[in-house]
Chain A
Amino acid sequence: MTAISMSSPRAIAWPAILKEAAMTAFVALLLTIPLVGLRTVDRPTGLGLETRWNEVAAAVGLVFLGRLGLCLIREGHAVTVLVLAAAATAAGFFIAMPTEALRVILIAGGAVIAIRAILAIRTGRSKLSQAERDKRMDHIAAQVQHASRWLGPIAVVVALAFPFTPLADRQLLDIGILLLTYVMLGWGLNIVVGLAGLLDLGYVAFYAVGAYSYALLAHYFGFSFWVCLPLAGFLAAMSGVLLGFPVLRLRGDYFAIVTLGFGEIIRIILINWYQFTGGPNGISGIPRPSFFGLADFTRTPAEGTAAFHEMFGLEFSPLHRIIFLYYLILALALVVNLFTMRVRKLPLGRAWEALREDDIACASLGINRTNMKLAAFAIAAMFGGFAGSFFATRQGFISPESFTFIESAIILAIVVLGGMGSQIGVVVAAFLVIGLPEAFRELADYRMLAFGMGMVLIMLWRPRGLLAHRDPTILLHGRPKGGSGGPAAGTAAAGGQGIAGGSAK
């Protein structure tokens, strides 16, 4: 201890630092005593308690050391802390902690503190200010936005070619389908949240309407997928209008909570109206899609229908159907994307962007707010309905379980984490939110825990979303000439300021 303080540039105020670290540790102690230290366990005689004081001690110790490290970085001892944090991270791999979670906390915490220390050494300060961080990320976002001109087509080509690469096995294709479903939902919700600036917490309701429309139409009338797809979209859009009509006058947060309520109402109706919807048991045996009504994907199709593999002279493979589903959702998602890109340049899309920035100014310029918002709501709902009926046909089984609030939260998280209004951002965020947890399936228990924490951390790190970039799509006098990244980043930052100011009122 004395050695460190001798080599320090200025004397460390040990009492103050220790006090701060101890306070943090004390809070950690209070947090962990009841829920971590004492566990309820089922015993034959009723509920019992189990104590885990070693975990409490480990957690409190780690918090104490972590806080101490952060304080020392602030005081200008980044090098020492860097060495210690790196050592702690390494130790995490070898030292046995009471639980796996604590070990992860040790490794991750050590790594974070080490990164902080490196930053401190490089910039001479312990922390980048929010504005600086925003500026840097805005720069990256603007560059990505600029690059999306060629990045987008490349991504589409990669997605198109993916099923024919040797990588594509059943599992990866399934993950690809899942990812694309969420990308499509994200793009759909982006119309409401990113373009029109309405916070919709019940988007999953339209997803459910679409899924149940197809399932029920197929179940009761025997309609095929290709007839039901537009019908499901239409019904979902109608339910969007039905919900939107009364509630679109509401202000931001109220609107959010009403949409959440609507999502729950739909789910409760699906559960309780069991004569019609099958209740909590859901609907099973939903027919699979055919090849545009021309051929089936089974080995031995029913009388009078052709088989896909015979039609094209291929060997039968169960993968054909999966690959077809993959292309189907890819096409659906691209339709949503294309629609959004185009509509942004039309009066409708421009009105949405204007509404997002300032509601009242729009009204005074003669834009019919309700109709514009209703259009956004209905169109987004329609795309949700398409995605829903795709979901139903892929799963072959749906139940109200699939349409809980957490789904809405995940879709909203994709939109907001990606940066509202950014199409590329949605793809990046979908990979983060859906792809990463899929890759770590074996950590099933901790998946949602990490998901929640990740949402908080990304928001703390970049409150406006990873690739937030809110230039208006069309400007009155064209774009200012000049360097590619610089001015765009400038306007993005300025736009951000305006939004922050606008939404604060």
Chain B
Amino acid sequence: MEYFLQQLINGLSLGAIYGLIAIGYTMVYGIIGMINFAHGEIYMIGAFVALITFLAIGSLGITWVPLALLVMLVASMLFTAVYGWTVERIAYRPLRSSPRLAPLISAIGMSIFLQNYVQILQGARSKPLQPILPGNLTLMDGAVSVSYVRLATIIITIALMYGFTQLITRTSLGRAQRACEQDKKMASLLGVNVDRVISLTFVMGAALAAVAGMMVLLIYGVIDFYIGFLAGVKAFTAAVLGGIGSLPGAMLGGVVIGLIEAFWSGYMGSEWKDVATFTILVLVLIFRPTGLLGRPEIEKV
């Protein structure tokens, strides 16, 4: 039972991370119908910016942890968002009306470029970091211990999700975004600046992925330039699982994938956990192609 609870908490925090990345995939897919293959790299850049920010404020002599974390969060969201914006501007916007494969190839190229860009600039070795938030919260007489970092991950994710949902459902930006998702041409006729909305979608997705990157840095304490690929594929799996285009679905899918991974590694060993994830993806696509919360899509000639 204790072991189960322990894995549950690990799975939830991992799922929160996948969910945050998955939102970027699902939003972009919802609005322009492409798989943003470079999104995993954006998340990796977020992790690197967080690491660099931490080292920078460390060298400035700031040691108060909450302030350091806040600065890391803001800096990684800001700088990574600029990367998200630039990637869209350079690699995707000119291809908006091209055949469907072109943006995907462009995205794969961008992903390879960003990976090597970070590798050349920051080195290929993995970057270890001493724990910033050490300590555990013990529950049930010490049988279950929750590290503060994992707790913080879950709390921050819930807070971000709340704010983000408000942004999408209550503000005019969110309304414009949902309008573009349904019909871009009509939205632009009604005075919505579609280019700007798409840019902002990428910016928001990148900012959320940056948070995920920072969380991974805090939880695992080690990152390298290659972490984006697998996390990206898994987050995409999460987005598909939840029903692509659906925001709550992305979060739900992330949590499900995180739980599967945690329980699988907890009970069956970590070697095959990726196979488990991909198998789930295949099974979901075969038996419920619209995902858990997705709308069925009508095919037309």
Contact = CB atoms under 8 A, between A and B. Distances in A.
Contacts of A257: 35, 233, 236-237, 240, 281
For this complex, into which size category does the number of interface residues on chain B fall?
35 or more
DSSP class of B's interface residues: helix, strand, loop or mixed?
helix
A449 B272 contact: no
Interface in A252-267: 252-254, 256-258, 260-262, 264-265
A50 to B, nearest CB: 10
B86 A31 contact: yes
Question: Which residue, of A40, A199, A413, has the highest number of chain B Cβ atoms within 10 A?
Answer: A40
B147 interface: no
A503 B100 contact: yes
Given A405-B229, A449-B117, A463 B95 contact: yes
A27 interface: yes
Say what secondary structure dominates the interface of chain A.
helix
A36 interface: yes
A49 B56 contact: yes
A451 B286 CA distance: 35
B45 to A, nearest CB: 7
A39 B125 CA distance: 13
A47 B112 contact: no
A242 B54 CA distance: 48
A504 interface: yes
B228 to A, nearest CB: 12
A79 interface: no
A34 B278 contact: no
Nearest to B113: A452
B240 A34 contact: no
B289 A459 contact: no
Contacts of B90: 456
A34 B79 contact: yes
B127 A40 contact: yes
A412 B105 contact: yes
Nearest to B49: A34
B59 A39 contact: no
A360 B101 contact: no
A301 interface: no
B145 interface: no
A445 interface: yes
Contacts of B79: 30-31, 33-34
A140 interface: no
B137 interface: no
A256 B55 CA distance: 39
B112 A258 contact: no
B299 to A, nearest CB: 6
Contacts of A199: 101, 104
Contacts of B109: 413, 451-456, 459
A35 B285 contact: no
A448 B99 contact: no
B172 interface: no
A42 interface: yes
Contact of B300 (A258, A445, A505): A505
Interface size band for A: 35 or more
Contacts of B275: 265, 268-269
B196 to A, nearest CB: 15
A277 to B, nearest CB: 13
Nearest to B129: A47
Given A246-B282, A246-B286, A31 B82 contact: yes
B63 interface: no
Contacts of A500: 97-99
B43 interface: no
Interface string A25-54: 001001101111011111000111100000
A262 to B, nearest CB: 7
Contact of A35 (B29, B48, B97, B272): B48
Contact of A261 (B106, B110, B129, B278): B278
Interface in B108-137: 108-118, 120-123, 125, 127-130
Nearest to A358: B301
A505 to B, nearest CB: 6
Interface in A262-307: 262, 264-265, 268-269, 272
A460 B121 contact: no
Contacts of A417: 105
Interface of B: 29, 34-35, 45, 48-49, 51-53, 55-56, 59, 75, 78-79, 82-83, 85-86, 90-91, 94-95, 97-106, 108-118, 120-123, 125, 127-130, 229, 233, 236-237, 240, 271-272, 274-275, 278-279, 281-282, 285-286, 289, 297, 299-301
Given A47-B51, A254-B289, 10 more contacts: A49-B55, A412-B105, A413-B105, A452-B114, A453-B113, A456-B110, A459-B98, A459-B103, A460-B106, A500-B99
Query: Which 10 A-B pairs have CB atoms at the shortest separation, nearest pair first?
Result: A455-B109, A452-B113, A452-B112, A463-B98, A463-B102, A261-B278, A456-B109, A449-B116, A459-B106, A503-B100
